[in-house]
Amino acid sequence: MMRQYELVDRVISYEPRANEELLNRAYVYATQKHGDQKRASGDPYYSHPVEVAGILTDLRLDTASIATALLHDTIEDTDATFGEIEKIFGREIADMVNGVTKMSLLELSSADMAQAENFRKLLLATASDVRILLVKLADRLHNMRTLHFISSDKKRKRIAQETLDIYAPLAGRVGMQNFREELEDLAFAEVNKEGRDLIVERLDELKQDSGDMLEAIAYEFSALLGENGIKAHVHGRQKRPFSIWRKMQNKSISLEQLSDVFGYRVVVADEAACYQALGVLHRNFRYVPGRYKDYISTPKLNGYQSLHTTVIGPNQQRVEVQIRTEQMHDIAERGVAAHWTYKDSKADCPDTAKIEPFTWLQDMVDQLKNGGSAEEFLENTKLELFNDQVFCFTPKGRLIAMPRGATALDFAYAVHTEIGNSCIGVRINGLKLPFRTLLKNGDEIEIIRGDEQLPSENWLNHVHTGKARAAIRHALREREAADFIKLGAQMIDNLFAAEAVDSSASVLDRALGVLSFDSMDALYEAVGRGTISAADVLLATMPKKALRKRDRFAGAMRGLIGRPGKVGQQGAAMIPVNGALYGTVVNVAENFFPLPGDDIVGIVTPGQGVVVYPSNARELAAFEDSRERWVPMEWDEENEQLFASRVHLTAVNRTGSLSVITQTIADFDANITNLSLIHLNEDFCDLTVDVQVRDKEHMEQLVNALKGSRVISEAKRVIFGGATEK
């Protein structure tokens, strides 16, 4: 175990002005708090935080991070509290220790749902201070190094799998390749020991066959570059078992076919020398087509820069070569930790200024803020962590890195949410293509935008990134709400107009308080959705207003709402054929919707005058024995009013259907007075729409138009809307 003075010396070696006293205090506090607690290995517990701090000195992190590492398990595992740590070490360190503690909860649960929830917290915490993530990764690395001491098979497997799923990719994403590789190999040995053993065996064979070829090739490269005036450090290494295994999986190659297991790093003075060195190697060795990658002009999201190529080396063996400058090498080794150092140092480093190490974390956080379920999030996260990237350009030449599998629509959302929402088409390299087209490296993407926001449910099938998915869901929800607001406003207007009541804002405002709504939009939306009726709103503004019986009934049933004109007008359009009952009140039977053009008949009803039914109504059977009450009726051709009527619709259940329906009805000069949702499932919804139309013919045209719409699978006029019809 590293001693107290050793740890402090290591920090002083790269940060001469470090607060020694603080480090000593943290060291002593940790050893005292953990006391005689033991690790599974039998070592005293405090050796663990000290080792974690040691790992972080390799990354040359600041005093606060090292102190956090020393204290990282005290809140969780000892009687130390946030308040005490804050008092002794200050707010910054206390917050960081707290952040690491929260992340550790992740390891306590194995259910996917709970993990994702905690993983959210993890990311949100790290986005506020990336050093918390670095401490956590070092903690995990030390735990993986000592994993074999844990006796439970199940526990070891779970920790190793979690390392492969979450922590190793996270380390990779923040650019810490060494962390990533070590985490992967330690986990690999636990999750698939046989696989790893086979690869290690094969690697040993290759090493014996080729003798000290590894160094020989490094020497040859270095000499060759020297002859061409390029000063370079060349370092050869064997690839890690896990990265070989992954390659075998991805490319379906067998162990025997495995040849390119050597990798070389060529570190040169500056960027120009990188390209010169590449030229020298390509002129002297046959290079393998398709393997050259220029991460200098287009760095990875995590800021990684290098030239990659594969050549057929001196012994006719494939070797991979990475060419980079000293600083690129530092960033490749230390990743976000290096950026963090440069970001804080006074000397602003021009090479790193263009790299944004935090964008990836920030994207994750944006995605969380846009909602979406935790499971979905974990799925997307795993997906995105494992995917490689493709680089695409905007028409102005801005470079955007996208995960492999992303579509042009994803690209639009990556540029800006508004651009995604208004996307109506794309041009890729000048060609107009569907926006579900998969992106390829180097594509130039121009997004064609429309005036209106148009995301549809269907778009979810055409995107790959969590960011686009979350943004589309958000837009769909907003648009649906807007539709209901419009509809509700229209229904309220209709009713108020029909009742000749003032519907100015000052009157409607009264309803907000009575019905407990925060805004008019919320009220309109509730009416539109049918949660409350327009009649409820009217009564809330004018409690003394006597609504006609039918309207009260309607209010209670969330049924009919508005009727045009004066009371009785509808009946006034119906005239007894012989005129004998002139002056008698004529009413339409409750729940019937006859229209001019339909055959009708009146029944004299005590106290209600003449009640009119369609001639084919089954209800008429009840009056079969009292024919004296029957009055032949006909429609008044002079009357040009609109009539209440009803349509039953089965529509495709998706956002936008509603606006197609309301628009179609408006286009046919009919008014909607009410809309109720009868039945709803994933694919379809059954709706009853009350409309005002001129006559039977007008209604037939409207029904035919609705039937023709792509969102409606069935449309039927309803003549009897009561309970006795099937």
Q: Which residues are the active-site residues?
A: 76-77
Amino acid letter, residue 61: L
Q: Which two tokens stand for residue 353?
A: 């200024």
Q: Which residues contact 325 (CB under 8 A, 6 or more apart)?
A: 267, 268, 269, 270, 271, 273, 274
Which CB sits closer to Mn ion, 73 or 443? 73
Amino acid letter, residue 366: D
> How many residues at the interface with Mn ion, by CB under 5 A?
2
Q: Which residues contact 509 (CB under 8 A, 6 or more apart)?
A: 520
Which CB sits closer to Mn ion, 107 or 443? 107
Closest approach, Cβ 142 to Mn ion, in A, equals 7
Closest approach, Cβ 50 to Mn ion, in A, equals 11
**From CA 22, how far away is CA 378, in angstroms rounded?**
38
**From CA 186, how far away is CA 206, in angstroms rounded?**
22
Round to the nearest angstrom and report the end-to-end CA distance of the chain: 83
Closest approach, Cβ 28 to Mn ion, in A, equals 18
Q: Which two tokens stand for residue 712?
A: 């409606």
Q: Which residues contact 127 (CB under 8 A, 6 or more apart)?
A: 358, 361, 362, 364, 365
Which CB sits closer to Mn ion, 73 or 536? 73
Which CB sits closer to Mn ion, 74 or 309? 74
- β-pair partners for 630: 603
Q: Of 68-76, 197-205, 373-381, 408-416, which segment contacts Mn ion by CB under 5 A?
A: 68-76
Query: Running DSSP on this structure, what letter comes out for residue 582?
Result: T
Closest approach, Cβ 72 to Mn ion, in A, equals 6
Which CB sits closer to Mn ion, 72 or 464? 72
Selection from 702, 626, 632 nearest residue 662 by Cα: 702
For the chain, how big is the Rg over CA atoms in Å?
Answer: 37
- The per-residue DSSP string of 159-181 comes to HHHHIIIIIHHHHHHTT-HHHHH
Which CB sits closer to Mn ion, 139 or 184? 139
Q: Of 65-73, 247-255, 361-369, 624-632, which segment contacts Mn ion by CB under 5 A?
A: 65-73
Query: Running DSSP on this structure, what letter comes out for residue 726?
Result: -
Which CB sits closer to Mn ion, 101 or 309? 101
- The per-residue DSSP string of 202-249 comes to HHHHHHHHHTTHHHHHHHHHHHHHHHTT--EEEEEEEPPHHHHHHHHH
Which CB sits closer to Mn ion, 127 or 137? 137
Q: Of 5-13, 139-147, 268-276, 480-488, which segment contacts Mn ion by CB under 5 A?
A: 139-147
Q: Which residues contact 310 (CB under 8 A, 6 or more apart)?
A: 260, 287, 288, 291, 292, 318, 319, 320, 321
Q: Of 61-69, 73-81, 282-290, 300-308, which segment contacts Mn ion by CB under 5 A?
A: 73-81
Q: Which two tokens stand for residue 680?
A: 């709803």
Selection from 235, 236, 238 nearest residue 205 by Cα: 238
Which CB sits closer to Mn ion, 73 or 182? 73
Closest approach, Cβ 524 to Mn ion, in A, equals 54
**From CA 70, how far away is CA 369, in angstroms rounded?**
33
Closest approach, Cβ 180 to Mn ion, in A, equals 19
Q: Helix 91-104 vs helix 63-71: angle between axes, to the nearest 10 degrees? A: 50
Which CB sits closer to Mn ion, 139 or 384? 139
Closest approach, Cβ 151 to Mn ion, in A, equals 18
Do 67 and 23 touch, CB atoms closer than 8 A?
A: yes
**From CA 605, how far away is CA 635, in angstroms rounded?**
20
Do 310 and 291 touch, CB atoms closer than 8 A?
A: yes
Which CB sits closer to Mn ion, 138 or 712? 138
Taking CB under 5 A as the criterion, the residue among 95, 107, 117, 139 binding Mn ion is: 139
Do 100 and 48 touch, CB atoms closer than 8 A?
A: no
Q: Of 66-74, 88-96, 259-267, 270-278, which segment contacts Mn ion by CB under 5 A?
A: 66-74
Q: Of 36-44, 135-143, 449-457, 493-501, which segment contacts Mn ion by CB under 5 A?
A: 135-143
Which CB sits closer to Mn ion, 139 or 499? 139
Query: Running DSSP on this structure, what letter comes out for residue 346?
Result: S
**From CA 262, how far away is CA 240, in angstroms rounded?**
10
- β-pair partners for 268: 232, 325
- β-pair partners for 576: 633
Do 526 and 535 touch, CB atoms closer than 8 A?
A: no
Closest approach, Cβ 134 to Mn ion, in A, equals 13
Taking CB under 5 A as the criterion, the residue among 46, 55, 59, 73 binding Mn ion is: 73
Q: Of 70-78, 88-96, 433-441, 636-644, which segment contacts Mn ion by CB under 5 A?
A: 70-78
Closest approach, Cβ 181 to Mn ion, in A, equals 21
107 binds Mn ion (CB under 5 A): no
Q: Of 2-10, 75-83, 131-139, 446-454, which segment contacts Mn ion by CB under 5 A?
A: 131-139
Closest approach, Cβ 89 to Mn ion, in A, equals 17
Q: How many helices and strands, by DSSP H and E, does the chain display?
A: 31, 19
**From CA 146, how far away is CA 669, in angstroms rounded?**
77
Selection from 706, 704, 694 nearest residue 649 by Cα: 706
Name the residues that contact Mn ion, by CB under 5 A: 73, 139
